[in-house]
Amino acid sequence: MTQLDEFYAAYDRVLQKWPVEVESIDMSTAHGTTRVNACGSADHPALVLLPGAGATSTVWFANVAALARHYRVYALDLMGDVGRSVPGETSIGSVDELLDWLSTVLDGLDLPTAAMCGHSYGAMIALAYSLRNGSRVEALTLLDPNGCFGPMSPRYLLHAIPILLSPNDTRQRRFVEWETGGRELDSDWLDVLALGAAHFPKSKTIVPKRPKPAEFENFGVDTTVLLAGRGKVHNAARIESAVRAVLARARTVVLENATHHTLPMLPAAEVNEILLS
C-alpha cells in the first residue's frame, strides 16, 4: 500500500464514522471532478459545508447526524486541496475562478440557494462567495474564520512555517498538538490530516483577500461567526470586535474551550446547536 493509498483508507474510515446514510456525488466542473458527500432528506433545505484546508469533507462526522435532521447536507472536498476531488487539466488560478467553481457545484446540485457554513480556509471561501453572490446564500456561518476580519497571529504563522516549507506527517501532527493544547482528536481523522499534508498532491492554494470594510456595506446575508476562545490562529476577542465593526447585525459566539483545529468536531454539540438556531 502506498502512502497515498493509506490516506484514502483513512479518509474512508472517517467517512464510515458518519452515523447517517451518505451519498457520494462526483460533480464535473471546468477544473475537475468535485467530491460531494451528501446526507439528509432531499425535502430539507440545503446546507453546504466547506472544510478547513487539509481537513476534507469527512471532518463533519460529529455534526452531520444533528444537521441532517434539519438539512439536506452537502459536504465538499475543496478543489485543489486534500480529498477525493480530482483536479482536471486546468487548475483554479484565481479567486474569481475559485468562486465560479463553487457556483458550478451549486448549479450541478440544482441549488439556486443554500445555507453555507465554512471552517478556517473554508470560511474564507464562504465569506468571499457570500459577498459576491449574496442572493444565493440563505444564511452564512463562519467557524473561526482566519484572515477574514483581522490578521493571523504571528506566533501561529511562525509555528506553521516548517509545514509550509516542507510538510510531513510528524510536523503536521506536532503542529496540531501544539495548537489544540494536546486535546485528544479522532485518530483516523488525524491520519487524514497528517497523511494528506505529507503525501497528497495539491495545487497552489488560492486565498481570498481579507474584505475591506466597504465591501460589507449593504451585505444582507444573515451571518453567524463562531470563534474558538482558546484558538491560537488569532485573538478571539479582537476578531469578535472586528466583526461587530463591519457587521453590526451579525451574531458572534465565542466557544471559550474550543481551539481552531478542534472545530467543528469539538465541542460538536455546541457547534450543532449554533448551526441549527
Pairwise pLDDT comparison (3 vs 111), residue with the higher score = 111
Mean pLDDT of 89-94: 95
Contacts of 92 (CB under 8 A, 6+ apart): 31, 79, 80, 98, 101, 203, 206
The model carries a pTM of: 0.98
Give me the DSSP letters along 118-144: EETHHHHHHHHHHHH-GGGEEEEEEES
Mean pLDDT of 98-113: 98
Q: Helix or strand or coil: residue 91? A: coil
Hunting for cell 446526507 — which residue is that? 39
Q: Helix or strand or coil: residue 184? A: coil
Pairing of strands 222-228, 251-255: parallel
- With cut-offs at 50, 70 and 90, classify the pLDDT of residue 91: very high
Mean pLDDT of 244-262: 97
Pairing of strands 32-39, 23-29: antiparallel
pLDDT in tens, 22-67: 999 999 999 999 999 999 999 999 999 999 999 999 999 999 999 9
Whether the per-residue pLDDT at 82 is higher than 90: the answer is: yes
Rounded to 5°, angle at Cα 102 from 101 and 103: 90
pLDDT in tens, 109-168: 999 999 999 999 999 999 999 999 999 999 999 999 999 999 999 999 999 999 888 989
pLDDT in tens, 190-239: 999 999 999 998 788 999 999 999 999 999 999 999 999 999 999 999 99
pLDDT in tens, 30-42: 999 999 999 999 9
Mean pLDDT of 98-112: 98
The pLDDT of residue 203 is: 85
The pLDDT of residue 248 is: 95
The share of the chain scoring above pLDDT 90, in percent, equals: 95
